[in-house]
Amino acid sequence: MNRILSLPKRHRWIWAALGVLVLWVALSIATERFSLHSISGVARSASFLALVALGQMFVIATGRGNIDLSVAGIVTLSAFVTVTLADGSNLHLPIALGAALLTGLVVGLINAFMVVRLKIAAMIATLAMGYILATATLMVNRQVRGFETAPALEWLASGRIGDLPVIALVAILAAALAAFLLNATAYGQSLSATGQNIRAAELAGVRTGRTVTISFVISGVSAAFAGALLSANVGGAFLDMGTPYLLQSVGAVVLGGSLIFGGFSTALGTLFGALLLVLIVTTMQIWGLPAGAQDVVQGIVIIAVLAFAGGIGAKRRSAPRRT
């Protein structure tokens, strides 16, 4: 189903996969400490990141440097909503989860309204949204009575089937769904067209406004879903718990081989990108690198990959002008 994209671009995810493989092998050989247990720890962290990054990928795909900066705020707010409403019981879980996802949906819709209707640049609109979410989180925070998570959600977030973390299955399913949307639906094709050239897409009959709206909604809902699961994983909610996901979600998308200027996205790549990013962090931890240095390396890796891949994207971008 990927055939609609030509061959070399189809394999962009391979770089991230190779990176994962190399680091994995290196770690296994170099240190005893990298046990099976730490692998599943890596897989779990990567899965939460993958959920947010898969959503971010849809916004980045809309092109023109669009990025959803509100994902961090959504993750945090949704965690608070889930904890507050579920109140430690499976009975209230559907309502809690529903409310959390609804939060993501509404935020996505408002983001899209600002970008599509008011024509505010995506990064500013989502930045401003981040402010509002911060206040909303503080409001919900006041309602929080206890930090008990619903057992069913806890199973999803930190349970395991055999040796496999359930959350990894969830992430894989989400990636499969994203791949299906991107490659096998009219929306996916419209999204790629919009990201490559929004004017050409409009003239080709693509309803670009609707396409962009769907993308922001997907991003909002997946961040909300990740937030709900995260609350179950850490057993509660705290302010700023979503903050790391801002850069890391963009980083996973870029590492995975999706184009930062939009038009081409790979769900499999984003999955590997998230895994690679978490592996890099884990490697640094195993090496005993201090926390500060870990941040520095993360930042440099993302800029370096972007500078490398950006050149490719830029070349493609300027190509039509030469004809």
Question: Under the criterion CB under 8 A, does residue 74 sit at the interface with another protein?
Answer: no
Question: Under the criterion CB under 8 A, does residue 145 sit at the interface with another protein?
Answer: no
Exactly one of 87, 247, 285, 286 binds another protein (CB under 8 A); that residue is 247
Strands (E), 263-320: none
* β-pairing verdict for 160-161 and 164-165: antiparallel
Which backbone phi and psi does 31 adopt, to 5 degrees? -140, 145
Q: Smallest gap, in angstroms, from Cβ of residue 223 to another protein?
A: 17
Q: How far is CA 320 from the centre of its chain?
A: 31
Site string for another protein, 198-237 (x = CB under 8 A): -xxx-xxxxx--xx--x-----------------------
Exposure string over 32-65, b if 16+ CB within 10 A, otherwise e: eebeeeebbebbbbbbbbbbbbbbbbbbbbbbee
Instruction: Find all residues with CB under 8 Å of 73, minimum gap 6, and list them.
Output: 107, 129, 130, 132, 133, 134, 137, 242
* Total of residues contacting another protein (CB under 8 A): 85
314 burial via Cβ count (<10 Å: 0-12, 13-18, 19+): exposed
Q: Is 182 helix (H, G, I), strand (E, B) or coil?
A: helix
Question: Under the criterion CB under 8 A, does residue 299 sit at the interface with another protein?
Answer: yes
Q: Smallest gap, in angstroms, from Cβ of residue 294 to another protein?
A: 7
- The Cβ of residue 114 has, within 10 Å, a number of other Cβ atoms equal to 19
89/141 with CB nearer another protein: 141
Exactly one of 104, 220, 257, 263 binds another protein (CB under 8 A); that residue is 263
Binding segment (CB under 8 A) for another protein, from list 45-53, 101-109, 223-231, 285-293: 285-293
Locus of tokens 């801002």: 246
What one-character DSSP code corresponds to residue 164? E
Site for another protein in 20-59 (CB under 8 A): none
Exactly one of 192, 222, 282, 283 binds another protein (CB under 8 A); that residue is 192
127/286 with CB nearer another protein: 127
Question: Under the criterion CB under 8 A, does residue 279 sit at the interface with another protein?
Answer: no
Site for another protein in 91-120 (CB under 8 A): 114, 118-120
158/285 with CB nearer another protein: 285
